[in-house]
Amino acid sequence: MTKPTISIVTPIYNEQECLPNFFKRVIPIMENIGLPFEIIAVNDGSKDKTPQILREQCQKDSRVKAINFSRNFGQQAAFLCGLKNCSGDCAILIDADLQDPPELFSSLIEKWKEGYEVVHGVRKVRKGESFFKKFTSSLFIKLLTKSSGLDIPPNSGEFKLYDRKVIDAICGLPERSRYLRVQVAWVGFRQTSIEFDRDERTAGETKFTLKKMLKTAEAGIVPYSPKVLKLSGKLGVVGCILSLLTFAVFTILAILKTALPLTAWLFPSIALATSIILISNGITDLYVGYLYEDVKARPIYIESEKINFWE
């Protein structure tokens, strides 16, 4: 079998409505490009007919390879698994919902041929997304860039091309906490971007709930930024200043013989001190939690089945 030049890596979770269209669009596009390719489809513990659809597609086309997880481990784990199992000279990461257009594969590959080792897909227009989703996504990238100190393109997602050197560098990182947008910025190499209009989902519903958005934000910011941990110390300084100002105000009022109950002195000070302690403990607990997960050294994901892989 010819060694693939291009690997298409896609994580899948309950996408039975999207998968048939995904293969119908992606395979002809890659055939028209004319380079040897493979599609690595990572089933992240889907509970619908996704595994069955993948098996049928793998039987029809040996260029399609599937990996089934033993349970749901998350999108980042699925992307990492695909990167570790791909054999191409470069890999294109894309979700199966087809919001990111596979028609841009040729543009990504052209930039790669020019010598760029990372090509970001930057969303110029985001169709079908609410104002809240767009606002929180933009805010998250700004916080991520500020806290990590790394250059992360605004409005970029996981739709990217990685050169083999980048793939090996990311897969070789030792940490268990994984967030590709930060890691690809950290490893460096020559990077560029192409802009595109992001479409609505072709079928099905988004699996990216508010809870998952918050978890993703935490996973992206906390493990990669000591600045958040230092925030507790800064909060302590701010709390001390506010407490001194409060006491100064009440002292002036007392000198002016303004009648003040005892609670007027105690309540603001106690509330302020308690809130600062709780915030500081919460931040510390987040870091301790991530350290605890790393110390356990459990695998990031567990594969239950691999289809169309040959040594």
Across 83-92, 137-146, 166-175, the highest mean pLDDT is recorded for 83-92
Tell whether 40 and 97 lie within a shared domain.
yes
d(CA 118, CA 160): 7
> Is 221 domain-assigned?
no
Residue with tokens 């269209």: 21
- 27-45 burial string, b = 16+ CB within 10 Å, else e? bebbeeeeeebbbbbbbbb
Q: Is residue 114 domain-shared with residue 188, that is, in the same domain?
A: yes
Q: Are residues 141 and 268 in the same domain?
A: no
Note the pLDDT of residue 205: 58
Q: Which residues of 260-270 are buried (b: 16+ CB within 10 A; e: fewer)?
A: eeeeebeebee
| Residue 232 domain boundaries | 226-296
Same domain, 289 and 236: yes
Residues 160 and 288 in one domain: no
Looking at the structure, tell me whether residues 88 and 183 fall in a common domain.
Answer: yes
How many domains is the chain built from?
Answer: 2
Shared-domain flag, residues 49 and 152: yes
- pLDDT bracket for residue 146 (50, 70, 90): low
Burial (0-12, 13-18, 19+ Cβ within 10 Å), 53: buried
Per-residue pLDDT at 203 exceeds 80: no
What pLDDT is attached to residue 99? Answer: 85
Percentage with pLDDT > 70 across the chain: 60
Calculate mean pLDDT across residues 25-32.
92
**Residue 11 in this model has a pLDDT that exceeds 80:** yes
User: pLDDT category, 153, cuts 50, 70, 90?
Assistant: confident
Q: What percent of the chain has pLDDT over 90?
A: 23
The Cα 227–Cα 207 span in angstroms is: 31
Q: Is residue 53 part of a domain?
A: yes
Would you say residue 220 lies in a domain? no
For 56-97, what is each residue's pLDDT tens digit?
999 989 899 999 999 888 888 899 999 999 989 999 999 888
Q: Are residues 191 and 283 in the same domain?
A: no
Q: How many CA atoms lie within 13 A of 34 on its CB side?
A: 1
Does residue 231 lie in a domain region? yes
Could you tell me if 196 and 268 lie in one domain? Answer: no
Tell me: do 105 and 250 sit in the same domain. Answer: no
Cα 179 to chain centroid distance, Å, stands at 5
Residue 193: phi, psi to the nearest 5? -140, 155
Report the CATH number at residue 91: 3.90.550.10
